[in-house]
Amino acid sequence: MMETVALIAPVTALQFLGEQYLLTGEGPILSVYLLQPAPKLSTSLSVLYNYRIHGIRPRTQPVGPECSSVPGQKDYELVVFGGKALRLVNLVHLDCVDQPHLEAVGPLVELHDWALDVCWASGNGHTLVGVALAHNSVLLMEPKEGRVLGCCSSLEGCLLYSALLLVDTSWVDSVLVAGTVFNQLVLWTPGRGAGDPSDQKVPVQRRLLGHSGVIFSISYLKEKGWLASASDDRSVRVWGVGALGGPGGMCEGLDPTCLRVLYGHQARVFSVQLSPGKVLSAGEDGTCLVWDWEGGGRVARTLNGHRAGGVRALAVSEGGGDGDSQGRWVATGGADGGVRLWRLKLGETEEREGDTSETITDLGFKGLGVPKVVSVVREECRQGCWSQGQLLVGTDQGVVYLYEGGRWKLVWAGGPEFHSYCVMDTLTLRTSDSLSKASLCAVGNLGGGVQVFLISQPQSGVFLSGGPGKIHSLFLVERHQRQGQGGYLLASGSNGLVSRWYIELDIDGHTEPVLRIKQVCSFVLPHSTKRWLTAVDHFHHPLGVLWVCGDRRGSLLLFQETEKERDEQEESVQSKKIGTLYSNNESNHREGKMNGEIAENKEEERTVKEGEKDADIQPVACLFGVHGKQGVTWVCQYGGLLYSAGRDGCVRVFRIRPEPLNKENDNGELQLEVLRVQRACKGMEWLERVLILETEHGDLEVTNHNRIMGRAEEVGQEHGAAAGSGKEARFVIAGFHSVHFVVWDPVTQERLLAVSCGGGHRSWSLLGSQRGLWLGYGTLIFIKQGTILASQPPGEEPNWEGRGVSWGLREGIHGKGIGSVCRLGRLAGDGTGVSGHWEVLVTGGEDTSLTVLAVHPETGIVKVLSVITDHISSVRTLTAIFRSHAGERRGRGTATQSLTALLFSAGGRAQMQCYRLLIGWDAQRQLPSCQVIQVASHQLDEQWERKRNRHKTVKRDPETRYMSIAVVDDTTACLLLAVAGSDGVLRLFRVSEERGQFSLLWESFFHQRCVLSVASCCLKDGVTNRQDTLTVEYHLLYSNEASFCQSKHPTLSLRNTLLFSAATDGRIAVWDMTTAASSLDGNSAVATVPATPCLAIPAHQSGVNSLAVWCDGAGWSLDSHLVTVASGGDDGQLTVSVVKVQCVKEEMETSEGSLQPRFVSLKLQLQSQCSVPLAHAAPLTALRLLSPGLLVSTSPDQRVGLWRISSVGLCHQGGVYSHVADAAGLAVWQEGDEGQLDSGIKAAGQGKRWIVVCGQGLQLFQVSQKKMDDGIERSGSKRCVTEQRVKGTFLQVASEPCDV
């Protein structure tokens, strides 16, 4: 009836098969990944039905020819166990076939207790398995048929949290290491009494004490006699126990001692593995720590890559053969459903993250003065090393030194005006014939002077004047390939004046490059207290050359330079050579020392005159103070979008709009529009740079490094092209976090690089990212206490395994619980990639993030399109509407190559966000893509946060949470949004996409307790002049889903809107919002809403968690119709209430003298009610309408139920067990709903039906209508009996109708 199509659940089991396979357990599904030549998913099989896999135990050798008669076939026998079940599975791989396959052998064997560990054994010539159970007992059984051959228990029959069953040669030699609930490790020998049917008790042989928390994982290394245990007390202990097993199952160590206690995790430790020389542990903090045994038990490496929720499974390959030379595989499985893979070499060491003092290299600077600024001149990286790279360093004595080939040499020395202060920038330009390159350096001083010189010819410098006063910053910017050769020099001086010069390298008639410099029109910055530039980038645009700049005040500025102005400036450079040309031949007669000291005769230096500049340019657009008062640190353009970073801890993605955002102020100028804001990790406020990930680092391989380096030049040329796709690129964030320089990935929530440099307020340069790209590695050059240091020695290749690069075998989503899910629609590819369509979903979780997903139903592939981290607390509810910018609704049932949706999210700290999502097809990656545009944000206490002396006032309920949201009206430019609050208040907001704001219109304190859910229903009355006919247009949006029904009629006159709200008292309130919707058609700031509801429905004994509302078309009559409300509560009850809605009208005289009916009021009456007291064994958390008369419900009892509603009752149609624990949200839809927002009101049997359940994971079901109908026919009279037993009786409620 319901089949699983895709599943994302915590990965709870990992196991390597040699160096060729990785086995993973996710829910009941066993998956096989091929590791060679490149890791990839091969096959999957559901083996444990309703149980979650907790362990996979292969036999030590493949099955021999006696079991596999096919030549070239390898069979591996596996025992898969979890919960109270186990099963025997064969992995079959033919040499002639690339893909292996899994075969289940025998039935599922169910046990009477929880299985904690399974071990292969032999006895009487048969293959047996031993099973360690949760109450300190062991079974000996035959795995194929499930026959129990013996049982043995310990004298201490306590509850166990973990167990490790060891068998040496035979079952008699077995030893069980058990982690008890009393924080102890006990060792005993089950082989002594397992064959005795009397079930005798065996005493404990050894007892290991020391942990202060329960023990979650145990590992044993036979070669060294080590036993490791991971505990709830955040520690890992390594014990010296000697040989375990042997004759009679003896334990060699009479007095086991604790060799090491390892503390390093920030939370509970879930798993531990031992390998020679290394201890690996993984925990709830989401990290896998590699401990160096020889180094005193310090952390040698930290492996990240999983989101919140921790690492639930850890596996290490056994190595051997070529595996030892290449390293061992390490795999981690997270609570986010992701699987990561690393390659570690034996004996290698790496410093602890955050304690990198021993890996920092001193470059040995011994020049004149103290280094103040460092800059990378040229990156000639060979396989990631920078031995051929060049560095320039400026000192407080006005001297510039060059570091090349491991040596320092003096390049240029300035006069006294360059002492004590200087700013510097460098750039490598191509010559005019594009055959060679040369590097430039520009140095500015306190007096407004700028010295520009070629590093290869420092004596041929040009002195420029940037006006009176201090030069605050210098920028050398290269022109892009499509604009020709050359570059620009910008000097930000006093009074907000930014002087600019155009620079070319000419070799016509010269053996060496010649500088040609022409001063062009300057930029003038807006008035502010900190009026100088901190970041610059420029690019070509159809309207000319655009410059986007960031200043110290935190503002983003846009300057426009037309093509005509630029061409005139460049032509003047070609014609004017006097005063702008400087060559080596002309400078040979100059006096001065060969060491580069500046000449005393200033008249010999060619100076560009002030009179040659054009008129100043004012900014055409400005986002004042968008990055706060600490300034903008970086701006860049990539693929048609702009990216900026600042010291406010935010990265902003914005674009240039040719039309103004506010049509009332149409001045015909360009505008900057912020699309969204991306925050870095907590505590990382000082951001320095945005680095584009052209290829996702998680998919990089060491073998692909040369190919990536070869594309760096090509990608860099595309970096500035404005004619991009307009889609947001994948990027990482570089900045300072406390005393570390960090490269942070906002999607995977992990550090890619961390260098202990002392924090901000220092000059630095990052090699490996000079073109604004991140290729998976980087070397930080920085100044600390007058010393020039590097995070990687020159000539040393980057350590790929230790720099965060890993294979992402499976993408994870939310590591913590998913509270809500919303479907956006279906997306079709272009036919060249993966066949079929993609379903686009949005999920909100307890980890405060929103994730946009694309699910491929045919293969079960899940791709993360975008992660939004604007919420400061958990996301509890989502809803979306679908319409274009012009306000037209769009269908989402038919697969298209683009989707547009307006998404609303709300949750903790009374916070709401509104986004416009643009979903399209990426032809290059052959995957869907998502562009996120932030429309508006709201927080209930944001006004309180802005108050002065707020510490003297009382903040009203700071822990208020928004529990549910529903769109009340979306027919106008401003939307009406109803919000349920935990403070007992029902609120109505107006959302203006044009203004980008939420406006609070109305509050009701009717419920006086936590409001849990809201839903809305819109009715439309159609009246014609010839006859009194009532027609209804039904529009429903409830919590996370939307439904829409429409009947076309000649005339539509009035729209009636009902709002349903439910709280923890079990009552459902019905509000008439008709006047509120109509009063805001003219953008009125006041909403007319009744003070009390028009009807209150008693439905549950406790809180109502979910509402589903629809209109029963069969019950409509001339002047009334029926609205059905289904509700699910904390009492586990499913209730269906039918409300009769009557339209009261009166005759009114028209101007022509005829009578026409006019709406006066609504009368609501509870007509009938039906309930199923125990629909679920736990609180019913989500309820949705799948099709007319068919409800879907879910609960933390992990059941998904289908309920049929008819005129005579409510019956259980069917159900399925979900592998998602703590189910909290539902989304349902049906294919073939063209022109509608949801398929819930379509006729039964049309199109495929889909159900998504979210909680501790995500599961997508497909509902088979044929199987449902077949099941009904086979049940026959049994169905009627079941219906009579389950269904409730409709009760007529004696209540007076309410006039509104």
pLDDT mean over 499-523: 85
At a CB cut-off of 8 Å and minimum separation 6, what does 53 contact? 12, 13, 25, 26, 27, 28, 29, 30, 47, 80, 81, 82
- The whole-number pLDDT of residue 444 equals 94
User: Using CA atoms, how far apart are residues 137 and 200, in angstroms rounded to an integer?
Assistant: 10
CA dihedral 431, 437, 438, 439 (to 10 degrees): 120
Least confident of 79-83, 502-506, 986-990: 502-506
Phi/psi for 455 (5° steps) reads -65, -35
Cβ atoms 978, 892 nearer than 8 A: no
Q: Which residues contact 1295 (CB under 8 A, 6 or more apart)?
A: 1165, 1166
Does 37 sit behind a cis peptide bond, omega within 30 degrees of 0 on the bond before it?
A: yes
Cα–Cα dist 54/973, whole Å: 53
> Cβ(450)–Cβ(412) under 8 Å?
no
Rounded mean pLDDT, 520-533: 91
Average pLDDT over residues 804-818: 81
Residue 1039 in contact with residue 1107, Cβ under 8 Å? yes
Give 364: exposed, middle or buried? Use CB within 10 Å, 0-12, 13-18, 19+: exposed
Distance between CA atoms of 605 and 586, rounded to whole angstroms?
11
**What's the longest Cα–Cα distance across the chain?**
112
Q: How confident is the model at residue 97 (pLDDT cuts 50, 70, 90)?
A: low
| 1200, 1194 Cβ separation under 8 angstroms | yes
Would you say 30 and 45 are in contact if contact means Cβ atoms under 8 Å apart?
Answer: yes
Contacting residues for 1142 by C-beta, under 8 A, at least 6 apart: 1119, 1120, 1162, 1163, 1164, 1165, 1297
- pLDDT (average), residues 743-757: 84
Please provide the DSSP assignment of 780-793 as one string: EEEEETTEEEESS-
pLDDT at 294 over 80: no
Answer yes or no: are the C-beta atoms of 968 and 977 closer than 8 Å. Answer: yes
Look at residue 443 and tell me whether its pLDDT is greater than 90.
yes
Q: How far apart are CA 351 and CA 357, in angstroms?
A: 8
List pLDDT tens digits, range 838-871.
Answer: 999 999 999 899 999 999 998 888 999 988 988 9
Give the separation between CA 303 and CA 679, rounded to whole angstroms: 23
- Dihedral of CA atoms 198, 199, 201, 202 in degrees, nearest 10, equals 110
Q: Is the pLDDT of residue 590 over 80?
A: no
Distance CA 314, CA 320 (A): 19
Q: Write out the DSSP string of 470-539.
A: ---EEEEEEPPGGG-S-EEEEEE-GGGEEEEEEEEEE-TT-SS-EEEEEEEEEEEPPP-SS-SEEEEEEE
Phi, psi torsion values for 43, nearest 5 degrees: -155, 160
Residues 6+ apart with CB under 8 A from 31: 23, 24, 25, 41, 43, 44
974-1013 confidence digits (pLDDT tens): 888 999 999 999 999 999 888 888 988 889 999 999 999 9
| Encoded tokens for 206 | 């050894």
**For the chain, percent of residues with pLDDT exceeding 90:** 38
Helix (H) or strand (E) holding 324: helix 322-326
CA neighbor of 1012 nearest in space, from 1102, 948, 1134: 1102
Query: Does the pLDDT of residue 1223 top 90, yes or no?
Result: yes
- The pLDDT-based confidence of 422 (bands split at 50, 70, 90) is confident
Residue 1192 token pair: 């879907």
pLDDT (0 to 100) of residue 894: 56
pLDDT at res. 587: 38
Residue 1118 has pLDDT above 80, yes or no: no
Q: Measured between alpha carbons, how far is residue 1178 from residues 652, 1197, 1198 in Å?
A: 44, 6, 9
- pLDDT for the residue 1127: 94
Confidence of residue 1268 (pLDDT cuts 50, 70, 90): low
Least confident of 646-650, 753-757, 1238-1242: 1238-1242
Gap between the Cα atoms of 777 and 502, Å rounded: 34
Neighbours of 469 (CB within 10 A): 13
For 569, the enclosing helix (H) or strand (E) is helix 563-575
Selected residue with higher pLDDT from 599 and 1083: 1083
11-20, 464-473, 558-567, 711-720: segment of lowest average pLDDT:
711-720
Q: What is the DSSP letter of 155?
A: S
**Range 143-171 average pLDDT:** 88
Provide the terminal-to-terminal Cα distance of the chain, rounded to the nearest Å: 45
Q: Which amino acid appears at position 829 of this protein? A: G
Sheet with strand 861-868: strands edge to edge: 818-828, 837-845, 850-856, 861-868
Q: What are phi and psi of 594, to 5 degrees?
A: -70, -15
When pLDDT is cut at 50, 70 and 90, the band that residue 311 belongs to is very high
- Across 1003-1031, average pLDDT: 67
Amino acid identity, residue 304? N
Structure tokens at 844: 């909100």
Nearest to 1116 by CA among 1144, 1143, 1137, 1095: 1143
Radius of gyration of the chain (CA): 35
Give the Cβ contact number of residue 952 at 10 Å: 7
- DSSP 8-state class, residue 1130: T
Identify the pLDDT of residue 659. 57
Tokens of 728: 């947001």
- Per-residue confidence band for 87, with pLDDT thresholds at 50, 70 and 90: very high
Stretch (H or E) spanning 142: strand 137-142
The answer to whether the CB of 84 falls within 8 A of the CB of 110 is yes
What is the enclosing helix (H) or strand (E) of 564?
helix 563-575
Where residue 571 falls among pLDDT bands split at 50, 70, 90?
low
Range picked from 217-221, 321-325, 359-363, 457-461 for highest mean pLDDT:
217-221
Average pLDDT, the chain: 78
Closest CA to 1099 of 1108, 1091, 1090: 1108
For the cut 60, the answer to whether the pLDDT of residue 82 exceeds it is: yes
Cβ neighbour number for residue 535 with a 10 Å cutoff: 24
Residue 403's SS3 state is strand
One-letter amino acid of 1080: L
Angle between helices 1265-1275 and 1277-1286 (to 10 degrees): 100
